[in-house]
């Protein structure tokens, strides 16, 4: 697989989409090319994936507080062994739900035992990354797609089930209502192989979450 996309590659992809269609052209004018934080180094991918579990279905500030407590409880370095040593009760006391605590412990177990190989995951194609990560309890397609986009920096991720992407798409394209997940899949096809760029623009249409930017 190619290495994570560089800043220049994101700019080039944005310009290519803008040249194809007037709506991406307007989105480029409004938001500029995607500005993503650098993806986690291989040694920090476990921590990055664990944080995505903590952030699921929480508002930004609440998630940040909970995650800071998890980091303090587990300590540095944040490793599978350290998470397992902390255990269920300590993790639950940080504010993680029971489901998220179970998911984090399952992730730690599978990484420790070599079932999930985060050191090699960057070599896999996109679909295989999703398949590899969703063996973990509590990690679904959306979380795997966020890992693909933000950590592996893949250019053609299309999170059709993400509400922000759906609402942003509807707003940008002048639709009366947000498309369903099923409807979003074919709507993204004309923008391959740069659908990550379009997804980022859709988020910017509705959200200013600093996690999406440098």
Dihedral sign (CA 14, 19, 21, 25): positive
Q: Which pTM does this prediction carry?
A: 0.88
- The pLDDT value recorded for residue 211 is 40
| 171 closest CA partner among 16, 51, 7, 30 | 30
> If you search the block for the tokens 């490793």, which residue do you land on?
79
- The pLDDT value recorded for residue 41 is 85
**Residues, the chain, total?**
214
- The pLDDT value recorded for residue 124 is 95
Region for residue 153 given its phi and psi (left: phi exceeds 0; alpha: psi -120 to 50; beta: otherwise)? left
- The pLDDT value recorded for residue 4 is 76
Task: Quote the CA–CA distance of 185 and 158 in Å, as a whole number.
Answer: 8
| 181 closest CA partner among 129, 152, 141, 137 | 141
CB-CB contact of 134 with 12 (8 Å): no
| 153 closest CA partner among 31, 30, 35, 55 | 35
- Enumerate residues 6+ apart whose C-beta is below 8 A from 178: 163, 166, 167, 169, 170
- The pLDDT value recorded for residue 38 is 82
Mean pLDDT by 10 residues, the chain (214 residues): 81 97 97 89 91 81 90 96 97 96 98 95 95 96 94 95 94 95 96 97 76 41
Task: Quote the CA–CA distance of 89 and 31 in Å, as a whole number.
Answer: 43
């Amino acid at each position: 697989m190619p290495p994570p996309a560089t800043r220049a590659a994101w700019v080039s992809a944005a310009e290519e989409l803008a040249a194809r269609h007037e709506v991406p052209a307007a989105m480029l004018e409004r938001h500029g090319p995607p500005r993503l934080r650098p993806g986690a180094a291989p040694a920090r991918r476990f921590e990055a994936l664990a944080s995505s579990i903590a952030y699921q279905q929480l508002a930004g500030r609440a998630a940040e507080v909970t995650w800071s407590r998890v980091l303090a409880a587990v300590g540095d370095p944040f490793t599978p062994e350290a998470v397992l040593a902390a255990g269920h009760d300590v993790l639950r006391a940080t504010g993680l739900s029971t489901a998220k605590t179970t998911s984090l412990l399952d992730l730690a177990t599978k990484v420790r035992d070599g079932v999930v190989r985060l050191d090699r995951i960057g070599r896999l194609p996109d679909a295989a990354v999703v398949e590899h990560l969703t063996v973990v309890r509590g990690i679904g397609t959306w979380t795997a797609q966020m890992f693909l986009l933000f950590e592996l920096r893949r250019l053609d991720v299309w999170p059709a089930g993400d509400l922000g992407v759906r609402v942003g798409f509807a707003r940008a394209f002048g639709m009366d209502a947000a498309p369903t997940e099923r409807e979003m899949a074919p709507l993204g096809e004309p923008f391959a192989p740069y659908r990550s760029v379009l997804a980022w623009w859709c988020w910017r249409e509705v959200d200013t979450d600093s996690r999406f930017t440098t």
